[in-house]
Structure 1
């Protein structure tokens, strides 16, 4: 299973570069925020892989918790809000997210881990927010509540936005590939969110696999959507080809 998080990292890196390339060309806020979210996705997976290779310690754990546990879903969902919500509303929510990001990161860096939850119990296996031997969470309830809020809100925004797009396109009976794209994005987001739920119920290996499956499905969905990426190309390459056109 060590190869799984590194595969996820590679896909997330390419996805991030694609989004950065598109953002530099089109300057759409949702592309920039999605790029940030995908970058966090890849960093969290990289930390997961390094941990399983023996690069352990409290700093690695805390950075993994911040990037993967707290922020990935929140920023992917924020990008979706910028795609669908009025700009003033999206700006206001983004301001709140920045504040919560700073608060959450500080708490995750300085809050002592709970007594009875030992990081050594994770050595040689996947990172998790729950001690696999004692069943205790590493962070106290306050940090966990903020993490749950960010994950839930972000996942609902990402999945809800994709479902909304699918319904709208289906009702208009236009651009069938957009319906397929939106369904794939919703499915991939659901897989990733389900993986997070499995991790919190002490199934970290299933979580790692779900993250890989989720990002693959999401990426395929994004590449099928002209609404999101009008022109697909390898990142920073001059040649381009429109998706769905051979």
Structure 2
């Protein structure tokens, strides 16, 4: 289960991300591209969980998981919501942030080295600055942006925005219940990806 569920979550998230890319090609809406990148990050983080569960955790799997799950997913989600609300500055800001996140995830020292079969605790392997503080900023800003835009648009698009809020809540619950292991956390990720996708494409 610890391998199959994250692998299935990765496939579901990747399929939904690809569908958003297809819709972006038709509509050229920048928020669709940002949301596709967010769901793609869901997929990559789930794949890293499957990797860690199948082969054992090491620094490579941890860097991939931290980059996509810890640094990028929420920030890209929030950027998509801001772009949907007409905040065009969110585009270049999130591109800069994503580049910084990739650099940090690849270059930051990991001490001690990651080993074992359970999801690593970032606080045990990464210094607060820059990796953990960057993840904190990205997650808070992205979540506040996504939920804030959804709340302000509830009267205009009640179904879509309620689904987005629900997706954010389910993703947060999965993170909070990390003790469930790779399989349990990925189950929440898959549900969150489906809810978010449904919210993104809903016109009601």
Q: TM-score range by the shorter chain?
A: 0.7 to 0.9
Q: Distance in 2 between matches of 1:94 and 1:153?
A: 14
1:194 aligned onto 2:186:
no
Distance change in 2, residues 1:66/1:42 (3 Å): same
Larger-Rg structure: 1
Instruction: Tell me the residue number matched to 1:242.
Output: none
**What do the CA deviations read for 1:206-225 (whole angstroms, capped 9, x no partner)?**
533321221232233345x1
Instruction: Tell me the residue number matched to 1:2.
Output: 3
**What do the CA deviations read for 1:165-195 (whole angstroms, capped 9, x no partner)?**
21x22xxxxxxxx412221211111111232
Instruction: Tell me the residue number matched to 2:117.
Output: 124
Q: Distance in 1 between matches of 2:21 and 2:67?
A: 22
1:158 aligned onto 2:146:
yes
1:34 aligned onto 2:13:
no
Q: Distance in 2 between matches of 1:102 and 1:220?
A: 28
Q: Distance in 1 between matches of 2:151 and 2:30?
A: 21
Q: Distance in 1 between matches of 2:108 and 2:170?
A: 30
SS in 1 for 2:55: coil
1:141 aligned onto 2:141:
no
Q: Distance in 2 between matches of 1:128 and 1:185?
A: 28
1:112 aligned onto 2:109:
yes
TM-score under structure 2 length normalisation: 0.87
TM-score under structure 1 length normalisation: 0.73
More helix by share: 2
Higher relative contact order (CA 8 A, sep 6+): 2
Q: Distance in 2 between matches of 1:161 and 1:190?
A: 15
Q: Distance in 2 between matches of 1:23 and 1:97?
A: 18
**What do the CA deviations read for 1:96-131 (whole angstroms, capped 9, x no partner)?**
32222222222221221134xx521xx333x3334x
Could you tell me how far 1:15 is from its partner in structure 2?
A: 0.7
Dislocated runs of 4+, deviation >6 Å: none
Q: Is the 8 A contact 2:59 2:110 kept in 1?
A: no
Q: Distance in 2 between matches of 1:180 and 1:96?
A: 29
SS in 2 for 1:85: coil
Q: Is the 8 A contact 1:159 1:190 kept in 2?
A: no
SS in 2 for 1:119: coil
Unaligned runs of 5+ in 2: none
SS in 2 for 1:22: helix
Distance change in 2, residues 1:137/1:55 (3 Å): closer
Q: Distance in 2 between matches of 1:192 and 1:105?
A: 22
Query: C-alpha root-mean-square deviation of aligned residues, in Å?
Result: 2.2
